[in-house]
Amino acid sequence: MTTVLIVDDQPMQRFGFRMLLESQDDMTVAGEAANGAEAVRLVSELRPDVALMDIRMPGLDGIEATRRIVAAGDRTRVLILTTFDLDEYAYAGLRAGASGFLVKDAQPEELLAGIRAVASGDAVVAPSLTRRLLDAYAEKLPAPGETDALAQDARLAQLTDREREILTVIGQGWTNTEIAERFHLAESTVKTHVGRILAKTGSRDRVQAVILAYDTKLVKPS
């Protein structure tokens, strides 16, 4: 069962969302908030799976509320909903750590699919924005040729591709739970991988693995 917190300053808008969500038998509305401050408070209190977040609200807006929710380290994923797909909003929302960004005039099915995707650790972005996201991403890609000047360390060389991939995100601070969610693996699988990484690299725990990742430039300082 996916629990959802509805955040919107317009009562009728909240009502509409509530009706839609309650009509689904795998979803339930954990609560409603009319502004950002209330949203932050209710998230920490109710710990919903997903916060459906409007942007324009009196007082604390949706962006800032998202930032605080993400910063608090709660497991709640934020799905931003707004009337217009203005770039600034989207970018700001994504920077704030939102897991998704959809426009309100989306089809109900799209909205529901978005909520389910976000709840399961995936992310969703309105199609109109995805294009720009891809363009920006393409620029960031290492280049058609080869994948970077891969860190050649004897310890890293023993790792399989999968293990190196996982070590990379360990180096970015991901917990086993997060790795499992975002890679769609069981936590036990992640633990197996981590155990092998530690054994192969001679690391005592993931902290030393992180240090190794930095020292070998597998992960670079941000």
- Within its chain, how far is the Cα of 92 from the centroid? 14
DSSP string for 57-94? -SSS-HHHHHHHHHHTT-S-EEEEEESS--HHHHHHHH
- How far from each other are the two terminal CA atoms of the chain, in whole angstroms? 37
Contact partner at residue 211 from DNA, a copy of itself, none, CB < 5 to 8 Å by partner kind: a copy of itself
Distance CA 196, CA 202 (A): 10
Question: Which of 17-25, 30-38, 131-139, 159-167 is the region at the interface with DNA (rule: CB under 7 A)?
Answer: 159-167
CA distance 115 to 134: 22
193 binding DNA? (CB under 7 A)? yes
The distance of closest approach from Cβ of residue 72 to DNA in the complex, given in angstroms and rounded to an integer, is 11
Residues that bind DNA (CB under 7 A): 160-163, 175-177, 183, 185-186, 188-189, 191-195, 198-199, 204-207, 209
Residues that bind a copy of itself (CB under 8 A): 71, 73, 87, 91-92, 94-95, 97, 99, 107, 109-110, 113, 117, 121-125, 127-128, 130-134, 136-141, 143-144, 165, 170-173, 175, 182, 184, 202, 204-208, 210-211, 214-215, 217, 221-222
